[in-house]
Amino acid sequence: MNRSVPLLFLNVFVVATCGLIYELLAGTLASYVLGDSVTQFSIIIGLYLFAMGVGSWLSRFVENDLAERFIDIELAVAILGGVSAPLLFFAFANVSFFSVVLYGMVFGIGALVGLEIPLLMRILKDELDFKELVARVLALDYVGALVASILFPIFLVPTLGLVRTSLVFGILNGIVGLWGTWLLTPLLKPGKIVFLRIKGVFVITLLVIGAIKADSLTVLAEESLFQETIIHAQSSRYQRIVVTRGRTGFSLFLNGNLQFSSFDEYRYHEALVHPAMIAFEGEPKRVLVLGGGDGLAVREILKYPSVEHVTLVDLDPAITSLATDLPVLAELNKRSLKDKRVTVVNSDAYVWLDRTDASGFDVAIIDFPDPNNFALGKLYSTRFYKMLRAKLRPDSTVGIQSTSPLYARNSYWCIVETLEASGFKVKPYQTTVPSFGIWGYVLAKGSEFERPKEIPAEIPLAFLDKDSMAGMFDFPVDTSRPDNELEINRLDNQALVRYYEAEWRRFE
């Protein structure tokens, strides 16, 4: 047994690493499908740690056959943790009580992991001084957690994806269980060893098959989520990207949220870009685009002969690459990101604004996803808008997508009031995009200005004309500024995310 002690400590490291990976998988997947990543991660981390405490407490009732129980628990973690990601994807698509499945699985994995460490410490108690035992076990536990937290976002998610990561670490748990039948042979009953090894081989084989078929499992799960045929799917470091094709064209989804449909995206992008371009007094030459990595807003900007340079800042290189490499998308955006006037910067827009020396832009177009989490909420804050103002000319114009004033009325007007609090003069407007419904935007400048009225005749448009543009700035009663006082969205309160979550939750 003495010779096996170092290897058993290696088990502690593996157990800790796998346990945290399952926790991160659940939190990431929940934030993908449910939004509000801070809430989801907070609940899952708290529940997981509580479950580990429950498991540790339950370990006191395990009195006999400690080595056998440890191996059984390790194999149970392998199965439950290994299938967690594919099972949660299927559950989200097919059951109405997804949260129960999610939190039940997190609790189950946490309780089993909480059982493992105390049992292993009791197995090792006769081999080491208690002080040395506790120090080594807890140190390896925390080191394993650190390794998992570094590997998960940098390597595992972008390289393996959620489903394959889940299955691979399930295999790792299964190998630890099977390996334990040799390390702990002196503590196992001879008649049990063969049976435990058969169970271990069965679990590992099952998970290996799952890992080999991971892409098929992912597609099968996503086909349950998306009604149309999936023509492209990938996991980047930041999000899950899915492109589907249907009768009316193709659509882009990020983390399950529709970004555009080729059927009607021109209405969205013409409304986003052209009021700001027209409202600039003079000929716009230098344009900044924040977000909009699909290249569709840039396509509209490049319709203006005066434009000399466009700087596009988008967080995810996978999106900007897709915009040039996926034929259907490259055709839709007229290969705008390949234009010699366009510079693509893959960076967090908030960080980029804070650090860049670039300034003097005539027009800025902001095309971020809706503020459904705090990471996005900061991009709609007073701090962000003040940094943006510093990069613009005094007479520059800004066009901002601002969610729906019908479905999320408080959220929309919170954005308007946050811009006003940041020193901008604003002209709110809205239009109808069939894929989204009534959709809102804000036109902003550093000083008072008139609504744009005339559309240059040489600019080819499919939707906007003089009359439709004038009508966008009129709000009916149900989308007009509410009477209730709204909070300004600041970094330290993220009021917008709270408004958004409360309003859109009604339609889930």
Q: 181: closest CA among 167, 207, 208, 201?
A: 201
Q: Pull the structure tokens for residue 427.
A: 């002209």
Contact 47, 23 (CB under 8 A): no
Using alpha carbons only, give the angle 317, 237, 27 rounded to the nearest 5 degrees: 145
Q: Which of 292, 300, 302, 309 is nearest to 271 (CA)?
A: 300
Residue in 458, 452, 487, 489 with CA at minimum distance from that of residue 470: 452
Compute the distance between CA of residue 285 and CA of residue 192 in angstroms, rounded to an integer: 77
261: which 2 tokens? 């449909």
Q: CA-to-CA distance for 265 and 251, rounded, in angstroms?
A: 9
Neighbours of 13 (CB within 10 A): 19
Choose among 134, 137, 92, 88: nearest CA to 108. 88
State whether residue 177 is helix, strand or coil.
helix
Contact 81, 18 (CB under 8 A): yes
Whole-angstrom distance, CA of residue 265 vs CA of residue 119: 58
- Residue 124, amino acid: L
d(CA 301, CA 365): 9
Catalytically annotated residue among 141, 294, 362, 367: 367
Q: Which amino acid is at 491?
A: L
Smallest Cα–Cα separation from 1: which of 128, 118, 140? 128
Cβ contacts of 480 within 8 Å, gap of 6 or more? none
Q: Is residue 404 within 8 Å of 412, Cβ to Cβ?
A: yes
> Phi and psi dihedrals of 426, rounded to 5?
-130, 155
Residues in the chain: 508
Tokens matching residue 275: 């009021």
Is 314 marked active-site? no
Active-site residue set: 367
